[in-house]
Chain A
Amino acid sequence: MKTRSLALLFVFGLVVIAGGLLLPQWMSYLFTIAMGKGLVVLGLVLLMRAGLVSFGQGLYYCVGAYVAGMLTQFVGVTDILVIMLASVAVSVAIAAIIGLLLCRYREIFFAMFSMAFSMILYGLLVRNQFLGSTDGFNVANPSLLGWTPGAEASSDLVLIVAVFLVIVLGAVAWRYLKSLSGYAGEAVRENEIRLEYLGGSVFRVVYVKYIIAAGLAAIGGTITALVSGHVDPEMAYWTTSGEFVFIALMGGTAHVAAPIVAAVLFEALRTYAFAVSPYTWQMILGFALLAIILFMPSGLWSLVERFQNKKARKTS
């Protein structure tokens, strides 16, 4: 990435943070949640580019959230950076073990197995009285390097950290997708056998992507836990994972920005759908997804690509 692009990205990040802080509390809350979910979906998109659809990212989303909750409530650690690192470390450790089994499967088997593991976590949490069973438990406000903000400022702190992480991790993911390892994902999707005899380990490619996706999901879960101040087992339920797939399909897999934009649109759409029609809001979401699949099968990002192609044709 060129220095100019990095500078533009930095300025864009500052504008988004400033905009986010100026928004009413309920909107900045939704925006922060969208940033968290966007990161989860970014990880999912990495897997989807390799031809794998995970219906179990809720597992790592929930693990990240519960690690954040447990650290703040039971250990007394509130530093957001320590919490992030711990969430990622625990999720990656779990993914490193589960991935050894899961990364041998493809297509529906991968999707169902990934969902099965997240449902196992859901079952364990629901039965655990200490962790609040189905109610979950509250998460204390975070701090940053010794600074403990007040109740309102703490959600601003999470927003700033969330936008910072989205920008940094998005840029890293962009570089990754342009690297040999990034392209290897598409090679897996196109033809695994070809990749193998050309010298690439298919298992290694998928395993690395699975672990990266788990880390990103953990960060997303941590952001959600810290901004909402609460965690519950629903975060590991299959509908939560389905929501991530929904957002990924909405945005498409063509660019790292697609899942982030789609997550913001999804949260906005859901909020307004609920306001307009409290009992049938899911139907509005369903029609929206149906329309996207019918008219933009490659997701909303295909609009950007169409615009770019049009511009390129005009230039030539």
Chain B
Amino acid sequence: MLELKNVTTEIAGTTILRDVSFSVSKGSMVGLIGRNGAGKTTSLRSIMGLIKPKAGQVLINGEDMTNQGSYERAGMSIGYMPEDRRLVPDLTVEENIMAPAWACQLGNAEARLAWIYEMMPEVESFSDRRALQLSGGQQKLVALARAMMTGTNLLLLDEPFEGVAPALSRRLASVLSTLKDEGLTVLLSESDQSHSADLVDKAFQIERGSVEPIASLT
């Protein structure tokens, strides 16, 4: 499904990822665990094509995506939830969730939206509110819902539990658990394993841009 081969990424001349290689098989949930500044966000951004790796390859479904545009990933049913949510503040929750469907001209957007609402009924309850009226935790849920709109092949979640109240964290974990049961492929990053330990099938430790498998979770 997803494979990184010797990926090295630099930002403004500083090497952030060093020869990173790991893979995520179809239908599995994989964690990328590391402290702040270890390179988690850069890893996900490199996978999404938002930062072009200096060396190495990003393979998705066997296709080399290293030089492809980020928008082409969304077209390949890959959903991305950035750490800072990045909702459009003036749009309603539903419009935010539908935005990738409009951009990718998805044919089954309504069915997909119904599935998302079924999965997260609380999002439906505030679907007509503007994104700027939501709390940080609610925005996380909406960002996840937006990623789920296109993410039928692969979901990339950047620190989904970060800055979220414990009750909402548990809710997020339960949604992710349901996604796992439905067979979605998910790669999520977290600073420790406090929330993801029970969810993931496999985990990798990232430290100073180098990735190693965590033995207890492989």
| Chain A interface residues toward B at CB < 8 A | 180, 184, 187, 190-191, 193-203
Contact = CB atoms under 8 A, between A and B. Distances in A.
Given A197-B80, A199-B74, A199-B150, 12 more contacts: A180-B102, A184-B103, A187-B88, A193-B70, A194-B86, A195-B103, A196-B70, A197-B71, A197-B73, A197-B82, A198-B103, A201-B69
B50 A199 contact: no
A202 B50 CA distance: 12
Nearest to A183: B102
B103 A199 contact: yes
A196 B86 contact: no
A174 B36 CA distance: 47
B75 A199 contact: yes
B100 interface: yes
Contacts of A190: 88
Contacts of B82: 194, 197
Contact of B99 (A193, A198, A202, A203): A198
Contacts of B70: 193, 196-197
Of the listed residues B50, B73, B74, B103, the one surrounded by the most CB atoms of chain A closer than 10 A to its CB is: B103
Given A180-B102, A193-B50, A201 B71 contact: yes
> SS class of chain A's interface: helix, strand, loop or mixed?
helix
8 contacts: A191-B86, A193-B70, A194-B86, A195-B71, A195-B103, A198-B104, A199-B71, A200-B71
B69 A198 contact: no
B123 interface: no
Contacts of A195: 71, 103
B48 interface: yes
Interface residues of B, number: 20
Interface string B57-89: 000000000000111011100001010001010
Contacts of A196: 49-50, 69-71
Contacts of B103: 180, 184, 195, 198-200
Nearest to B50: A193
A190 B88 CA distance: 9
B33 to A, nearest CB: 23
Interface string B119-148: 000000000000000000000000000100
A180 B109 CA distance: 15
B71 to A, nearest CB: 5
B49 to A, nearest CB: 8
B190 to A, nearest CB: 20
Contacts of A198: 71, 74, 99-100, 103-104, 146, 150
A38 to B, nearest CB: 29
A203 B71 CA distance: 10
A199 B104 contact: yes
Contacts of B49: 196
Nearest to B81: A197
A187 B88 CA distance: 9
Contacts of A201: 69, 71
Contacts of A200: 71, 103
Contacts of A203: 69
A190 B150 CA distance: 21
A196 B51 CA distance: 12
A193 B51 CA distance: 10
Given A190-B88, A191-B86, A197 B102 contact: no
Nearest to B80: A197
